[in-house]
């Protein structure tokens, strides 16, 4: 039979179309908040921040600042008419410090003036007197003092691991510290508040416009209906604008309300890095019992996060760290304890992976220790502990691991990356070279998809078809570069079988879609794509019924294809049908709602099914280190990643590459340094290094797992992609451990992250010392 390729609309689901702003990002056509025309009378804001790590405020004198010409307002906690509380979770986070400042950079007042320069000068003229108090900066000190931002967490399954570990053939205790990470979004935090009749409109570079709406209303003492949160796009968020963009929006709104004029607050890079929170640094400590093959019998792990001064999203982050401390492995008996340690630093917050990477790091460091101590191949130890079959499929939070794709994916990547022969080549290289050493390692990633706070798994969309056949798409998700808007538009184009350019994207607005969740947890396309699909399908059903009636054919003979509607022998352009339908009084708009089915979780017992499904990935990385300087280079990375049936393979590849590189930066080069008073010293690109084009693996091969539709009923059987690939960078850290072990003459290296040249040198030195001591 001859297969005739039917003409198809352009840019539907699965098409590798470019990001909707790809050209706009290059030619400047993509408008960010600081590019918007400033409304008449727009003022500019600057924040007055603490220079103490912890102190009791005694006096804030704003008179000199207020006397400066062009300065329009200075506000402190006393000027907040509503409630001075902006915590995303457990209350205890005032917008402006009322009495105590708790870190260097803590905002205690805000200034509005005619120009940004004037606002900065006026902020410097505010006189603050305070009584300094002792500050706690490290996780170890906070742990010792039992100083938390939330009650400790406990996750357990099976028997008490203590006695099992004690009786196990082998027992290993170890710990590792992993550092934080600055989001380093290209567009810093920014908001523009515009007073409205009896309310406020706030444009914010936020992942969470509803929280902006909610908190601005609270600070101003207004009902939420009087406040609109808006965002067209962010120049990156990476979690840094999930909760903390809210504060920036609130300062702008507070000053706008005070002055009756529009106010813009845009933090410069140094202020942004000094004031806002970062990825949580973690201390991970384990006690594990294994048999002679390295098979895990029981695990007892402590996960302590440096949460900074306030709770923020630490409950979710710590919960996700605990629920990823198993990574891809079955722990027969397990106890995981989580501590959110309160310190006098910026409040740590969401960052791509949301605690998952830190939990998985503890797990993989433990596996490395087991394998190297027992002189086993780390890959063999990973394999023997994988989930799968025979009752070995329950996670520490009692969710059953179903459709576990990793064993097959591991085989595939080992073959396609030529792992076995390269392993031998690396060993041969190391035997022949005293100064340069190579390392190679394979990693597995299993990442749970859904918000671990169940009520956040909901979304809305509003689809409007106009009488000319053009379509306006609104949904509750936000665009931060990840391509969400493109993907959701592809879903709508697919439903109507129209070209993607017929679907126009609207800025996210709380006035269009209420009560949204943050665009986070990688669930943006899953949630908003599904809501938009439901909305579009409802309109399509009405249009199809109308077409059947209009052409007098049964509804079963109506089909949408290639920008047309076919009804029996009739064919009509989508736009023409829309016009007829409008005249026939057919409703051409729909607001729809979606919530993820089947997920549940009890935060008290920390059990349930928090994740609708898992996203999987495997990677093989090879590195070379210079044992004289500690410098290293990524030589080659192969990735095979599971995105289900991809909504857009080119966007998905971009997410995988970007996520991996961001993870590599976190684990190897991005180092946050605070001085003994808690002042951050790495507050600009001069001192804080993120990976650049030169830091990529020389040979970088990324593949999507083919023919792998999601077993769960996700949108077009796709899988979330935003965060999981970040953790594939563990393969680079593991390869560095492999190289360090070779340099040190064997043994189990301890390599904290970020694995900077200094830490690599130190790890080699320690191995060599212990080899000497042992000899």
Q: Show contacts with ligand MTE in window 657-676 (CB under 6 A).
A: 658
- Active-site residue, selected from the candidate residues 177, 187, 670, 723: 723
Q: How far is the CB of 523 from ligand HPA (least distance, A)?
A: 8
Q: Under the criterion CB under 6 A, does residue 451 sit at the interface with ligand HPA?
A: yes
Of positions 204, 228, 646, 655, contacts ligand MTE by CB under 6 A: 655
Q: Which is nearer to ligand MTE, 25 or 398 (CB)?
A: 25
What is the smallest separation between the CB atom of 665 and ligand MOS, expressed in angstroms?
15
Of these, 9, 233, 342, 352, which contacts ligand MOS (CB under 6 A)?
Answer: 352
Residue 481's binding partner, choosing from ligand HPA, ligand MOS, ligand MTE, none, with beta-carbon cut-off 5 to 8 A by kind? Answer: ligand MTE
Asked if residue 459 binds ligand MOS (CB under 6 A), the reply is no
Q: Reduce the DSSP state of residue 464 to 3 states and report it.
A: strand
Question: In whole angstroms, how close is the CB of 447 to ligand HPA at the nearest point?
Answer: 10
In this complex, which beta carbon is closest to ligand HPA, that of residue 285 or of residue 311? 311
Number of residues that bind ligand MTE (CB under 6 A): 21
Region 154-213 residues binding ligand MOS, contact defined as CB under 6 A: 207
Determine, following the binding rule CB under 6 A, whether residue 359 of this chain makes contact with ligand MTE. no
481 binds ligand MTE per the rule CB under 6 A: yes
- DSSP classification of residue 684: S
Least distance between ligand MTE and beta carbon 237 (Å)? 4
Q: Phi and psi dihedrals of 430, rounded to 5?
A: -65, -35
The correct pick among 174, 236, 239, 665 for binding ligand MOS (CB under 6 A) is 239
Distance in Å, CB of 349 to ligand MTE, minimum: 11
Least separation in angstroms between residue 165's CB and ligand HPA is: 30
Would you say 164 or 720 has its CB closer to ligand HPA?
A: 720
Q: Which residues, at least 6 apart from 672, have a Cβ–Cβ distance to it below 8 Å? A: 179, 180, 181, 182, 278, 281, 680, 682, 688
Looking at 456, 497, 639, 672, which residue binds ligand HPA (CB under 6 A)? 456
Distance between CA atoms of residues 85 and 708, nearest Å: 46
Q: Is 446 in the site for ligand HPA (CB under 6 A)?
A: no
Q: Helices 730-743 and 757-774 sit at what angle, rounded to 10 degrees? A: 40
The partner in contact with residue 482, picked from ligand MOS, ligand MTE, ligand HPA, none with C-beta cut-offs of 5 to 8 angstroms by kind, is: ligand MTE
The rounded Cα 64 to chain-centroid distance in angstroms is 42
316 is a contact residue toward ligand HPA (CB under 6 A) = yes
Residues near ligand MOS (CB under 6 A), total: 10
- DSSP labels, 519-568: S-TT-HIIIIIHHHHHHHHHHHHHHHHHHHHHHT--GGGEEEETTEEEET
Give φ, ψ of 75 to 5 degrees: -120, 145
Q: Is 723 known to be catalytic?
A: yes
Options 215-223, 258-266, 348-356, 704-712: segment touching ligand MOS (CB under 6 A): 348-356
Six-digit token pair at 210?
A: 């509803």
Q: Are 363 and 334 in contact (CB under 8 A)?
A: no
Nearest to 347 by CA among 253, 255, 240: 240
Coil/strand/helix, residue 193: strand
Closest to ligand MTE by CB, 443 vs 482, is: 482
**Interacting residues with ligand MOS between 240 and 259 (CB under 6 A):** 242
Helices vs. strands in the chain: H and E counts, helices first: 20, 29
> In the complex with ligand MTE, which residue's Cβ is closer, 607 or 662?
662
Q: Which of 113, 267, 303, 350 binds ligand MOS (CB under 6 A)?
A: 350
The span of 71-79, 156-164, 350-358, 612-620 binding ligand MOS (CB under 6 A) equals 350-358
- C-beta of 521: minimal distance to ligand MOS in Å? 5
At residue 270, the 3 state secondary structure works out as helix
Residue 131 DSSP SS3: strand
Q: Quick one: which of 185, 351, 447, 716 contacts ligand MOS (CB under 6 A)?
A: 351
Torsion angle defined by CA atoms of residues 680, 681, 685 and 690, in that order, rounded to the nearest 10 degrees = -70
Could you tell me which stretch among 114-122, 481-489, 702-710, 731-739 binds ligand MTE (CB under 6 A)?
481-489
Residue 263 · residue 195 · CB < 8 Å: no
Verify binding: residue 354, ligand HPA, rule CB under 6 A: yes
Estimate the crossing angle of helix 378-385 against helix 356-373, to 10 degrees. Answer: 120
647 binds ligand MTE (CB under 6 A): no
Cβ neighbour number for residue 775 with a 10 Å cutoff: 6
444: left (phi over 0), alpha (psi -120 to 50) or beta: beta
With CB atoms as reference, the residue minimizing the distance to ligand MTE is 524
First to last CA, the chain: 76
By C-beta, is 62 or 314 nearer to ligand MOS?
314
DSSP designation for 117: H
Q: Specify the stretch interacting with ligand MTE by CB under 6 A; choose among 271-279, 452-460, 476-484, 575-583.
A: 476-484
Q: Which residues in 526-545 contact ligand MTE (CB under 6 A)?
A: none
452 interacts with, out of ligand MOS, ligand MTE, ligand HPA, none, CB within 5 to 8 A per kind = ligand HPA
Q: Annotate each residue in 435-474 with x if it binds ligand MTE (CB under 6 A) or - if it does not, as one string.
A: ----------------------------------------
| 452 belongs to the binding site for ligand HPA (CB under 6 A) | yes
10: its two tokens: 């352009």
- Is it true that the peptide bond before 754 is cis, omega within 30 degrees of 0? yes
Residue 320 interacting entry, from ligand HPA, ligand MTE, ligand MOS, none, C-beta within 5 to 8 Å by type: ligand HPA
Considering CB distances under 5 to 8 angstroms, the limit depending on partner class, which of ligand HPA, ligand MOS, ligand MTE, none binds residue 453?
ligand HPA
Looking at residues 492 to 531 of the shown chain, list those that interact with ligand MOS (rule: CB under 6 A).
Answer: 520-521
Nearest of 480, 477, 529 to residue 506 by alpha carbon: 477
Give the residue among 141, 19, 43 at the shortest CA–CA distance from 488. 19
> Which of left, alpha, beta for 147 (phi over 0: left; psi -120 to 50: alpha)?
beta
d(CA 233, CA 415): 41
Q: How many CA atoms lie within 13 A of 264 on its CB side?
A: 22
**Sheet with strand 564-567: strands edge to edge:** 558-561, 564-567, 570-573
Sign of the dihedral through C-alpha 474, 476, 481, 484: negative
| Distance between CA atoms of residues 731 and 519, nearest Å | 28
H/E segment holding residue 155: strand 153-157
Among 52, 172, 339, 354, binds ligand MOS (CB under 6 A): 354
Of the candidates 103, 203, 238, 387, which one interacts with ligand MTE according to CB under 6 A? 238
- Shortest Å distance, C-beta 137 to ligand MTE: 26
Phi, psi of 432 (to 5 degrees): -95, -15
Residue 723 contacts ligand MTE per CB under 6 A = yes
Q: Using an 8 Å Cβ cutoff, are 504 and 473 in contact?
A: yes
C-alpha torsion angle, residues 576, 579, 580, 583 (rounded to 10):
-170
SS3 674: strand
Of 231-239, 644-652, 675-683, 687-695: span binding ligand MTE (CB under 6 A): 231-239
As annotated, the active-site residues are 723
Interface with ligand HPA (CB under 6 A): 242, 313, 316, 320, 350, 354, 451-453, 456, 520-521
Interface with ligand MOS (CB under 6 A): 207, 239, 242, 350-352, 354, 520-521, 723
Interface with ligand MTE (CB under 6 A): 236-239, 352, 480-482, 484, 519-525, 655, 658, 720, 722-723
């Amino acid at each position: 039979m001859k297969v005739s390729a039917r003409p198809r609309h352009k840019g539907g689901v699965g098409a590798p179309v470019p990001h909707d702003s790809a050209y706009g990002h290059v030619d400047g056509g993509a408008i960010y908040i600081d590019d918007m025309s400033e409304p008449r009378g727009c003022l500019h804001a600057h924040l007055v921040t603490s220079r103490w790590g912890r102190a009791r405020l005694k006096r804030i004198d704003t008179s000199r600042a207020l006397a400066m010409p062009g300065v329009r307002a200075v506000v402190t906690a006393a000027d907040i008419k509503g409630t001075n509380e902006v915590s995303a979770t457990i209350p205890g986070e005032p917008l402006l410090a009322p009495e105590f400042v708790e870190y260097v950079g803590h905002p205690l007042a805000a200034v509005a003036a005619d120009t940004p320069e004037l606002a900065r000068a006026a902020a410097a003229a505010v006189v603050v007197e305070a009584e300094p108090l002792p500050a706690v900066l490290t996780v170890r000190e906070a742990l010792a003092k039992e100083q938390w931002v939330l009650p400790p967490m406990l996750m357990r399954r099976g028997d008490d691991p203590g006695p099992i570990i004690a009786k196990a053939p082998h027992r290993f205790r170890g710990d590792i510290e992993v550092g934080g990470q600055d989001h380093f979004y290209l567009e810093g935090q920014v908001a523009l508040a515009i007073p409205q009749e009896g309310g406020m409109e706030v444009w914010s570079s936020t992942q969470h416009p509803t929280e902006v709406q909610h908190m601005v209303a609270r600070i101003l003492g207004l009902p939420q209906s009087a406040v609109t949160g808006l965002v067209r796009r962010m120049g990156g968020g990476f979690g840094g604008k999930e909760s903390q963009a809210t504060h920036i929006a609130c300062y702008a709104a507070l000053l706008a309300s005070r002055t009756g004029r529009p106010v813009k607050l845009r933090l410069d890079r140094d202020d942004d890095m000094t004031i806002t929170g970062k990825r949580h640094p973690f201390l991970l400590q384990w006690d594990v019992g294994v048999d002679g093959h390295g098979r895990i019998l029981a695990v007892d792990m402590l996960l302590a996060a440096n949460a900074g001064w306030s709770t923020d999203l630490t409950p979710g982050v710590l919960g996700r760290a605990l629920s990823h401390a198993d990574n891809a492995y079955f722990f027969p008996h397990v106890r995981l304890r989580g501590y959110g340690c309160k310190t006098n630093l910026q409040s740590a917050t969401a960052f791509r992976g949301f605690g998952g990477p830190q939990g998985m790091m503890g797990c993989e460091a433990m596996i490395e220790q087991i394998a190297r101590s027992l002189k086993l191949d780390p890959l063999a130890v990973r394999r023997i502990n994988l989930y799968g079959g025979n009752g070995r499929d329950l996670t520490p939070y009692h969710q059953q691991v179903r459709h576990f794709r990793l064993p097959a994916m591991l085989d595939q990547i080992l073959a396609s990356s030529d792992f076995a022969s390269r392993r031998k080549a690396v060993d041969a290289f190391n035997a022949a070279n005293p100064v340069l050493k190579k390392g190679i390692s394979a990693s597995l990633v299993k990442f749970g998809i859904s918000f671990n706070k169940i009520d956040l798994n909901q979304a809305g969309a509003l689809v409007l078809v106009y009488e000319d056949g053009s379509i306006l798409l609104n949904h509750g998700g936000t665009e931060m570069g990840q391509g969400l808007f493109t993907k959701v538009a592809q879903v709508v184009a697919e439903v109507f079988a129209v070209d993607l350019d017929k679907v126009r994207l609207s800025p996210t607005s709380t006035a269009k879609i209420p009560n949204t969740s943050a665009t986070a947890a990688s669930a943006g396309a899953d949630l908003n794509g599904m809501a938009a699909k439901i909305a579009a399908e409802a309109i399509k059903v009405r249009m199809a019924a109308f077409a059947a009636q209009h052409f007098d054919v049964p509804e079963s003979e109506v089909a949408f294809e290639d920008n047309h509607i076919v009804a029996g022998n009739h064919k009509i352009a989508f736009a023409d049908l829309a016009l007829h339908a409008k005249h026939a009084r057919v409703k051409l708009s729909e607001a729809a709602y979606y919530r993820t089915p089947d997920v549940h979780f009890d935060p008290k017992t920390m059990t349930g099914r928090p994740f609708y499904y898992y996203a999987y990935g495997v990677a093989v990385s090879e590195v070379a280190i210079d044992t004289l300087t500690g410098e290293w280079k990524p030589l080659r990375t192969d990735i095979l990643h599971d995105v289900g049936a991809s909504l857009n393979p080119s966007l998905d590849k971009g997410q995988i590459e970007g996520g991996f590189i961001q993870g590599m930066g976190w684990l190897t080069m991005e180092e946050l340094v605070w001085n003994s008073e808690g002042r951050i010293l790495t507050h600009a690109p001069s001192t804080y290094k993120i990976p650049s084009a030169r830091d990529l693996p020389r040979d970088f091969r990324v593949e999507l797992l083919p023919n792998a539709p999601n077993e769960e009923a996700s949108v077009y059987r796709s899988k979330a992609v935003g965060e999981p690939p970040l953790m594939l960078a563990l393969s680079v850290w593991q390869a560095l451990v492999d190289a360090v072990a070779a340099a040190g003459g064997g043994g189990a290296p301890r390599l904290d992250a970020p694995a900077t040249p200094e830490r690599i040198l130190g790890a080699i030195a320690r191995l060599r010392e212990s080899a000497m001591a042992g000899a």
